[in-house]
Amino acid sequence: MTQTVNVHEVKTHLSRLLEAVERGEDVVIARSGKPVARLVPARSRGARRPGSWKGQVAVAADFDQIPDELVAAFHDDVEPHVR
């Protein structure tokens, strides 16, 4: 079930609305009758597992190499880039 409530009602009855969300209800918050937000349950991310990305990410061998053009762009002896 979806219920739409105005901002004043949210301020007054937040605890009741949170209970409704916990029961699985959908709560839409409106301002002047126009929906602007949805109150939804927070999702647990679960426990972190260090190393869970192992083998899934690779760093390029030239990761810390700066291209000459980029270095030159930060020096005064190069003409400024004109758009």
Looking at every residue in the chain, the average pLDDT score rounds to 88
CA distance 80 to 83: 10
pLDDT grade, residue 45 (50/70/90)? confident
CA distance 8 to 14: 10
Query: What's the pLDDT tens digit per position in 51-71?
Result: 988 999 999 999 999 988 888
Domains of the chain: 2-39 (3.40.1620.10)
pLDDT grade, residue 1 (50/70/90)? confident
- Average pLDDT (78-83) is 55
Q: Is the pLDDT of residue 82 over 80?
A: no
Neighbours of 21 (CB within 10 A): 15
What pLDDT, on a 0 to 100 scale, did the predictor assign at position 76?
Answer: 66
